[in-house]
């Protein structure tokens, strides 16, 4: 991995991210396992206020770490495939040294911050081509029935 692409966080910034509560503008994912599901979250955040998606961090705020290239691919593909129009995304890969597992030999871990710009009017399509409109309500992604 080319380390020039990664940002380093100081301990204070990192702890602030880990302690942040999920809500309308923040969601955490351990890993992206379903493009269709992450597309709903992307569309919902864009349709509400915009926000940030933290990938590689558990719901409890524990840094698990991820392969950032793989996760960016999954998110970009989901956005292009299932969101119409596509949401505007900005990716930041963060490198962090984990001293918890072995204080003498810290382990390099990476997590991803995906900034999702506010952009109301993004529909999310499923694999069958059915369209739904999603928003964020507190820490949940919910579909809105259009009348």
* pLDDT on residue 103: 79
* pLDDT on residue 10: 62
Per-residue pLDDT of the chain (147 residues; tens, 9 = 90+): 434 444 555 667 767 777 888 999 999 999 999 999 999 999 999 999 999 999 998 878 788 899 999 999 999 999 999 999 999 999 999 888 888 777 788 888 899 999 999 998 999 998 899 999 999 999 999 999 754
* pLDDT on residue 4: 40
* pLDDT on residue 7: 57
How far apart CA 56 and CA 64 sit, in angstroms, is: 5
3-class SS letters over 20-50:
CCCECCEEEECCCCCHHHHHHHHHHHHHHCC
CATH number of 3-121: 3.30.950
Question: ∠8-16-68 over CA atoms, to 5°?
Answer: 45
* pTM (two decimals): 0.86
Strand segments (E) across the chain: 7-8, 26-29, 51-55, 83-84, 89-98, 107-116, 123-125, 131-137, 140-144
* pLDDT on residue 147: 42
């Amino acid at each position: 991995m080319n380390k020039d692409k990664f940002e380093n966080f100081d301990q204070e910034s990192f702890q602030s991210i880990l302690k942040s509560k999920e809500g309308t503008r923040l969601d955490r994912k351990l890993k992206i396992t379903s493009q269709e599901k992450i597309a709903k979250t992307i569309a919902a955040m864009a349709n509400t206020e915009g926000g940030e998606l933290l990938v590689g961090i558990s719901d409890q705020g524990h840094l698990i770490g991820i392969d950032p290239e793989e996760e960016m691919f999954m998110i970009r593909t989901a956005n292009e495939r299932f969101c119409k129009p596509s949401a505007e995304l900005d990716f930041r890969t963060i490198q962090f040294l984990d001293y918890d597992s072995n204080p003498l030999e810290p382990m390099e871990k990476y997590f991803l911050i995906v900034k999702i710009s506010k952009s109301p009017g993004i529909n999310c399509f499923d694999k069958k081509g059915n369209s739904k409109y999603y928003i964020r309500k507190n820490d949940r992604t919910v579909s809105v029935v259009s009348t």
